[in-house]
């Protein structure tokens, strides 16, 4: 298990758990919910914030928030399609 903050650009993962007590409701409402695939699209030049695609939404979140979202990495695209 790792977090979104540890993804490399282009890598994907499945959200396992969100630290609900520390993350505002808004993040969930914008699509960041467990079970959904997340892809790291771009990292800002100073390594923060992160630009992700999740549940059909494109979002920018700060690294500190990304660290609160637990994921399992998807090894490759085929596996993502299967799941």
Number of residues that bind other proteins (CB under 8 A): 30
Q: Where are the beta strands (DSSP E) in 1-83?
A: 2-3, 12-18, 37-43, 50-54, 57-61, 69-74
Q: Which of 4, 5, 7, 27 binds other proteins (CB under 8 A)?
A: 27
Q: Where are the beta strands (DSSP E) in 33-77?
A: 37-43, 50-54, 57-61, 69-74
CB nearer other proteins, residue 31 or residue 67: 31
Interaction of residue 77 with other proteins, rule CB under 8 A: no
CB 47 → other proteins: shortest distance, Å? 7
Q: Which of 8, 21, 78, 82 binds other proteins (CB under 8 A)?
A: 21
Q: Which of 2, 11, 14, 51 binds other proteins (CB under 8 A)?
A: 51
Q: Report the chain's C-alpha Rg in angstroms.
A: 12
Q: Note the maximum CA span of the chain.
A: 35
């Amino acid at each position: 298990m790792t977090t979104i903050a540890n993804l490399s650009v282009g890598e994907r993962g499945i959200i396992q758990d969100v630290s609900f007590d520390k993350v505002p409701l808004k993040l969930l409402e914008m699509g960041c919910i467990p079970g959904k695939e997340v892809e790291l699209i771009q990292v800002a030049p100073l390594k923060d914030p992160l630009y992700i695609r999740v549940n059909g939404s494109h979002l920018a979140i700060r690294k500190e928030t990304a660290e609160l979202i637990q994921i399992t990495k998807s090894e490759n695209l085929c596996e993502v399609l299967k799941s």
